[in-house]
Structure 1
Amino acid sequence: MATAWPTIGNHSIPVNNTTGIPVSATGNPASTSSAPSSSTAAAGSNTSEVLFNPQNQSNPYYLHVNENPALELVPFPLDGSNYHTWARAMTMALSCKNKIAFVNGAIKKPSTDNLERYMAWERCNNIVASWIVRSLSPMIGRSVMWIDTTYGIWNDLKQRFSKQDLFRIAEIKCEIYQTKQGDNSLNEYFTKQKLMWDELSILRPTMYCICPIKCDCGKKIDGLNEQLEMDKLSIFFYWTA
């Protein structure tokens, strides 16, 4: 059997082959909606509530004196066609800044009854919103300027630009089959191919069986995934000949 290409994280979709329905990591049916339901959001807020401690450097509410709205966290702007690459880069940058909780909904807008917490939230929210807007093309930036929360901005961008997956998948497939080694070194050619396959695996995750005992459907899924790895190798070696 050919060695599988290295994965880029846990992007596979587990499938319960009794029902044939994709499931989440917790075993529950995976939601097809990009926005969480009210019950899911409520459950998430109960289990992942962020404590308010702006003096602690490991707390998301903490802001270093050097943090300012003029920072550019990613080297390229979102122009509408590069959403997944941009979102990945922004997620890593915001994670380094310990501000992911402001875009994934873990930190909600607090009531003005607690003025200290509200003021700290507003400052952090505006800082993160400024970072996001600065990483967008001018037209896209103007389109989200009046959204109050970073969570709202993030989800608006996701709903608008991740819907183009179908067309991007077609483009990537064409690029994969048309990219030749040419004058590139073997390492450069492999890197180009891997980048395209990695992006494709994010847009169209593979599935795997989670049944305790391997079922017939699970064996078929394994066979399909093995065939995909063989396709990668055959295309790679074909254009290096």
Structure 2
Amino acid sequence: MDFERRFHFSKCFLNPPETGPLLAVPNVSGKDYAVFNHSARNAAAGKWGLHHMELRPWIGRRAKTARDSLQPLPKPGWIRRYAMTGALLAALWPPLAEAETETDRAGRIKASFVLNIARFVSWPKEAPEQQVTPLLLCLYRSNPFGEAIRTIEGKIVNGRPLQIGLIRSLAQSDSCRILLVGPDEMRHFSEESRQAPNRPLLTIADLTDTDLPSPHRPALITLVRNAARIGFEINLAKARRTGLRMSSNLLKLAKIVGDGT
């Protein structure tokens, strides 16, 4: 029998994705807490099915062994991208806890967003003595998440444990690396930030329950609600002026506003 010199196994994947992954957090007052499409779940779990394989039988008179004949091909780039996005989605969504009030649950979900967003941000390199100190997350004038903010204290961000403090004005924020601004403090923050110089301070505002037009949102990142879902906006132009670097995978999940649109 005359064999072809080269055989290829056709691509075989289980449930190939038809759409991109969703970043969706339904209204925390409901019973369902997260909606991810099938492709994002599979990517996070590593369930993409069979690898590409290539069969190389005998060439000329010299036969290769079965082990040499079967060569795995590299995974296509889209698989790596979906897997990375799925992992990011899984990181952004916190595990559920029992016996929580709706307010506690909302605060814990948003605190987890803050933590995991920060993990995809890079600050300019600091002096060696500062690199071993905790990374300071400052609450601007008040605590918008209540006791839920304590669920992320001590978590690791950029290799450093997260420490939480309270400041009364931007003049006290020199040691802060992350600044969390609640809806009640937005007016004060807007006034102060107009006079503040650009520096690598990751400002995150919670506007999930407040309707404030995008041009008047002074923070670099804003948590927002779209119908029943929570997402976030990034003012990329402002972020670049501060010297902060944001992962491209984080940017894919955000709505880009400002000059970066």
Q: Normalised by the shorter chain, which TM-score bucket?
A: under 0.3
Larger fraction in strand: 2
Q: Relative to total residues, which structure has the larger helix share, 1 or 2?
A: 1
Structure 1 or 2, whichever has the larger Rg, is 2
- TM-score between the two structures when normalised by the length of structure 1: 0.26
The TM-score with structure 2 as length reference comes to 0.25
- Larger relative CO (CA 8 A, sep 6+): 1 or 2? 1
